Chains A and B, each alone.
Chain A
Amino acid sequence: MADTPEAIQKAKKLYLLIGMALFVFTVVTVAVATVPWLDFGEHGFDSKDAVIGLLIASCKASLVAFIFMHLNHERKTVYFVILLSAVMGIVLVFLTGWAFTDPIEYGDTVEGDGFYNPVEKTVPE
């Protein structure tokens, strides 16, 4: 942690630099999404563009977390809390995914109302 006046003066320069980097990264994200010759994968938006967009966002987020939020030199307690939240975050992502392994089979949609009809579907066998 920058605590002495000299260290803080030095850190301020770094903050400014990181701020600039974040601005540049933002421009790059928009460029990747809008300029045709920077379009990766297929023409138009596709999974590759999504991955690249999120990678740039992750870089930006890391810069904010490590420099602005001082995670580059923090105490063990803080790292533990963050690790915990990261694990729980990942669990949450897959928690939604588990809904798709739901063994209950739904009937056909009822024409017109757009809702699933939870009447059991009989499978001809």
Chain B
Amino acid sequence: MDIPYTVTARKDTGLFNSKVGIWLFLASEVMLFGGLFSGYVFLRIYADYPWPERALPIVPGLINTFVLIGSSVTVVFAWAALKMREWRKFQIYMGITIACAGLFMILKGIEYKAKLEHQAVRMDDFAMIEGHAHYAVVDDDGNLAHSDTKLKAKKLGASGAKPFKANAILFEPETIDFSVARAHGPWVEALLEQAGKRKSKLVTTENLFLYGNIEDYAGTEEDPLSTKGREKAESELVAKYAKAEEKIGHEFGESSLYIPSGTELSYNLLKKAREVYVSGRTHNAIVRTAILKENWKRVKAKMPDDKYWIQAPEAKIDAATQLDEQFDAQGKCVAGSKVVSVVSTLSFAMDPPQPIVINRGWVKRPVKAKEGKAELRDDTSFNAGDGEGSAPGLLESPLILAVDAIDLRWMAQKAEEAGKDPAEVIEKSWLFSEENKHHKKYQRIWDNHKERIAVLEENLLKDYGRDKEGNPKRVPTETDRYRITWQDLVHYARANQNEERPLKAGEDGYDDLRPKFWNGFAGPNHKDEEIHKLHAFPELEIPHQKVSLQSMFTPKWNTYYAVYFTITGLHGLHVIGGAIVLGYYLFFSKGLYRRNPEWLANRVEIGGLFWHFVDLVWIFLFPILYLM
């Protein structure tokens, strides 16, 4: 069957069909991106914290804008070439368009990578620090050593110790509890690897019987999970369980698990325990439903004239309700008897206790030393010992950074809200106090910054004067005053190069030392030789208890990055999708061109319309995300 109106226009619309189709699709796309943009605008306008302003390096975005505009021109040229029946030219223009799409995605990838490697920390006093985490390693004495590169860190550590990003937590547990249902394989394996390297074992300390749907002993004194049950001789219990399983037609171990004391942890063991746990929960769900049904029947018989919401409180799931056992065709018990107790947590002792590196991204909430506990997001719990000489739990685990930006805007905002002088609050904060090992360096940076802002204030007054009420027409912004960017840090380091006579703000040549916006392609470059030589990005050790939020530059860090990754990610998917369609025209449409060139021209026009739309979205994204 021939599809109508692929080449000629329909009389009623005056268009070939696919054009109506693409415009309807683009209309829906306008609404999709429109909704996201509007979300961004409202989030930004009503943000009650300082918004990251002009947070992205401009250059990759600028190049990407040029790339997309260029590709928009070439795609329309490709269409024109087809209209003129110039196949060779069409190939060239379409080839360039697809190459542009590739270049766009490569630049986007570089930008994303830089974000995912960039560390951000919010301290408990609302100072926000950005930088690159050092590499740390556990040395022979079980302490942390660190350096700015992986290689240097490796040399400092004990033999075989693996350097890790110095944003991790060091914890020496006495016992570790795993959630049977939720334990995450890779984390368990990582833990085992670490314990193995430090010649420590994770073992159970008591005989454990886990059972799924074997209900014979549940809730009775003979229940192996009850205190009395545990006192029973191991062999006696095994025999009883074997018998119970036999009754439901299972081999011993099929629906139960026996873990003798001293069993070593493995993820397979946890997986087997999970199966048993799930089977127990399934059994309980069936029993509970049966009990509830039965209870409803009884309640309805008792209160026949009442509405269900009056009956409801009476119809409780009562575990003690005895029901007649019901078996299915295979002889499996589906209802009846009692709810069994299920084991949801397995506890292992660390023998001997050794420091374990816990990725800060894995923990559920900030770890406090006094709680003696570190809880991971998979419900694994590391526990300190409680007696003397037992494992101390949280070890000193500072977050060590090479700092490339200091953002004090939030702290200043909080100070103003409390009616205090922001500068005073800032100068009294931890960063500039003697508690900070490197406070002198930071005081110097802050002094440099204050000087420069004072000169900026003076210059603005000189250039723009005062308004009628006598206030300066232009003043430095909060961002100028309270955010020290990586460009600032490099600027001050260059000015201070000559220790005996540092260049002061306002002096000739001072402003020329400032990096321009085209320096630092995708952000601060920590590998830059000059930056290394000048120590422009100073070291900082933030004590663990001072960190209230730490993250890479990901959606977790703030709303801006959540929006950034959502919209640019969605836009990136459009670029990939568009490139695939245009690529199809380029590589697989020679036949159609020979048969019906006008049809191909129409197809390319449709693909081109989509491609222009992708360009159009970027035209708004670039100023909104990069320049505002």
Question: Could you give, for residues 459-478 of chain B, a 1 whenever the CB lies within 8 Å of some chain A CB and a 0 otherwise?
Answer: 01000000000000011110
- A89 pairs with B15, CB closer than 8 A: no
Within 8 A of A (CB), among B9-50: 13-15, 19-20, 23-24, 26-28, 30-31, 34-35, 37-39, 41-42, 46
In the complex the two chains form, is A45's CB within 8 Å of B53's CB?
yes
Q: How far in angstroms is the closest Cβ of chain B from A52? A: 9
CA distance A96 to B34 in the complex (A): 11
B506–chain A nearest beta-carbon distance, Å: 16
Residues of B within 8 Å of A92, CB to CB, are 31, 34-35, 38
- Interface assignment of A106: CB less than 8 Å from any CB of chain B: no
- Docked complex Cα distance between A37 and B149 (Å): 42
Whether A16 lies near B73 (C-beta < 8 A) is: yes
Contacting A at CB under 8 A, from B426-446, are: none
- B83 and A82 contacting across the interface, CB-CB below 8 Å: no
A19 touches B73 (CB 8 A): yes
Contacts A43-B477, A84-B27; is A15 near B77 (CB within 8 Å)? yes
Interface hit among B234-242, B287-295, B355-363, B608-616: B608-616
For A97, list chain B residues within 8 Å (CB). Answer: 38, 42
When distances are taken between beta carbons in the complex, the residues of chain B under 8 Å from A5 are 83-84
Q: In this assembly, does B413 line the interface, its C-beta being within 8 Å of a C-beta of chain A?
A: no
Q: Which of B590-628 contact A (CB under 8 A)?
A: 608-609, 612-613, 615-616, 619-620, 622-624, 627-628
CB interface residues, A 52-78, toward B, < 8 Å: 53-54, 56-57, 60-61, 64-65, 68-69, 75-78
> How far apart are A56's CB and chain B's nearest CB, in angstroms?
7
Q: How far is the CB of A31 from chain B (nearest CB, A)?
A: 10
Nearest to B24 among chain A residues (CB) is A81
Q: How many residues of A contact B (CB 8 A)?
A: 51
Which stretch (B58-66, B134-142, B187-195) binds chain A? Answer: B58-66
A11 to B476, CA, bound (A): 48
Q: Given the complex of chains A and B, what is the CA–CA distance between A89 and B54 in angstroms?
A: 26
A8 to B296, CA, bound (A): 79
Q: Are A61 and B30 in contact (CB under 8 A)?
A: no
The contact string, 1 if C-beta is below 8 Å from chain A, for chain B 52-79, is: 0110001000100110011011001100
Least Cβ–Cβ distance between A12 and chain B, in angstroms? 5
Given A26-B62, A33-B627, A64-B615, also A81-B23 (CB < 8 A): yes
Inside 8 A of A29's CB, which chain B residues have their CB? 622-623, 627
Interface contact B38-A96, CB-CB below 8 Å: yes
With both chains docked as a complex, state the minimum distance between the C-beta of B378 and any C-beta of chain A, in angstroms: 21
**Interface hits, A80-110 → B, CB 8 Å:** 81-82, 84-86, 88-89, 92-93, 95-97, 99-100
Q: Is the CB of A43 within 8 A of B42?
A: no
Interface residues of A in 6-24 (CB under 8 A from B): 8, 11-12, 15-16, 18-19, 22-23
Within the assembled complex, what's the spacing in Å between the Cα atoms of A68 and B20? Answer: 17
A5 to B84, CA, bound (A): 6
Confirm or deny: A42 has a beta carbon within 8 angstroms of a beta carbon on chain B. Answer: yes
Once the chains are docked, how many angstroms separate the CA of A99 from the CA of B84? 53
Residues from chain B with Cβ under 8 Å of A15 in the complex:
73, 76-77, 80
- Residues in chain B within 8 A of chain A (CB atoms): 13-15, 19-20, 23-24, 26-28, 30-31, 34-35, 37-39, 41-42, 46, 53-54, 58, 62, 65-66, 69-70, 72-73, 76-77, 80, 83-84, 460, 474-477, 479-480, 517, 608-609, 612-613, 615-616, 619-620, 622-624, 627-628
Q: Which 9 A-B pairs have the closest CB atoms?
A: A85-B27, A44-B477, A19-B73, A89-B34, A33-B627, A93-B38, A43-B474, A75-B14, A53-B623
Q: Which residues of A contact B (CB under 8 A)?
A: 2-3, 5, 8, 11-12, 15-16, 18-19, 22-23, 26, 29-30, 33-34, 42-45, 49-50, 53-54, 56-57, 60-61, 64-65, 68-69, 75-78, 81-82, 84-86, 88-89, 92-93, 95-97, 99-100
Interface CB pairs A-B, < 8 A, 13: A19-B72, A26-B69, A33-B58, A43-B460, A45-B628, A50-B628, A61-B616, A75-B15, A77-B13, A81-B20, A86-B30, A93-B41, A96-B35
- Could you list 11 further interchain pairs (A-B, Cβ under 8 angstroms) beyond the known A45-B477, A56-B623, A93-B34? A8-B80, A23-B69, A26-B622, A29-B622, A30-B627, A42-B477, A43-B475, A45-B628, A81-B20, A88-B27, A89-B31
